[in-house]
Amino acid sequence: MTQWLFWGAMPFLAAAFVTDLRHMRIPNALSLAMLGTGLLFQILFAGWHGFLFAAYGTGTGFLVLLILYLMRAVGAGDVKLFAAIGSWIGALSTLQLLMYSVFIGALIGWVIVLVRRETGKRLRGMLGRGACLLLHGGQGQLAAGSGDMLKFPFMLAVIPAYICTYIYI
């Protein structure tokens, strides 16, 4: 049944992928629909246990991505989407998906930096922020180039990560 649930979430992820690529945002209606159907399917097919499975997955996806959101690593739509994904695939698979997504996202980021030939600039910025953290205890760290964040649709990393999660469950 777990494999079936992975496939059930795919139409929602495909829609999120398209909207994230086009507009760099994931609509709340999409995340809410995914969350609602995930909860509904879990309850219908596994009863109370399914509800708890979905609730733990939702909470896990939301809380972990909320931390990344507070660090400005992802957008608010990604937080809500991961909560919805958790309702379909549960807490453990959501954590595995997050691990793969962050790894693939880092690879995509470095490819973008290399293609744009910004490697030296990015490394100097990282070293500068690190030195500021060590020398000033973090005060003034945000002023050292935080507005120069590399941005790309996180769904570029989530889709291949979702496939990896499906393969390795």
Tens-digit pLDDT string for the chain (169 aa): 578 889 999 999 999 999 999 999 999 999 999 999 999 999 999 999 999 999 999 999 999 999 999 988 899 999 999 999 999 999 999 999 999 999 999 899 888 878 877 666 656 666 776 666 677 665 554 444 445 667 889 999 999 999 999 998 7
Q: What is the pTM (predicted TM-score) of this model?
A: 0.81
pLDDT of 113: 78
| Structural domain includes residue 123 | no
Flag whether 120 is in a domain.
Answer: no
The H helix count followed by the E strand count for the chain is: 5, 0
**What percent of the residues of the chain are helix, what percent strand, and what percent coil, each to the nearest 5?**
85, 0, 15
Predicted local confidence at residue 72, as pLDDT: 86
Residue 115 CA to residue 109 CA, distance in Å, equals 10
Task: Tell whether 144 is covered by a domain.
Answer: no
Query: According to the model, what pLDDT value does residue 145 have?
Result: 47
For 84, the domain range is 2-114+153-167
Residue 57: per-residue pLDDT: 97
Q: Residue 64 corresponds to which tokens in the numbers above?
A: 């972990």
Tokens 């690879």 label which residue? 107
Q: What is residue 141's predicted lDDT score, i.e. its pLDDT?
A: 46
* SS3 state of residue 121: helix
Q: What is the pLDDT of residue 111?
A: 87
For the record, the structure tokens of 56 come out as 């733990």
Query: Residues with Cβ < 8 Å from 111, sequence gap 6 or more?
Result: none
Give the tens place of pLDDT for each residue, 73-118: 899 999 999 999 999 999 999 999 999 999 999 899 888 878 877 6
Q: Is residue 48 part of a domain?
A: yes
CB burial of residue 7 (10 Å; 0-12, 13-18, 19+): exposed
Question: Does residue 57 sit within a domain?
Answer: yes
Q: Is residue 16 part of a domain?
A: yes
Is residue 13 situated within a structural domain? yes
CA distance 6 to 166: 7
Q: Which residues of 17-28 are buried (b: 16+ CB within 10 A; e: fewer)?
A: bebbeeeeebbe
Residue 147 lies in a domain: no
Q: How many distinct structural domains can be found in the chain? A: 1
The whole-number pLDDT of residue 142 equals 47
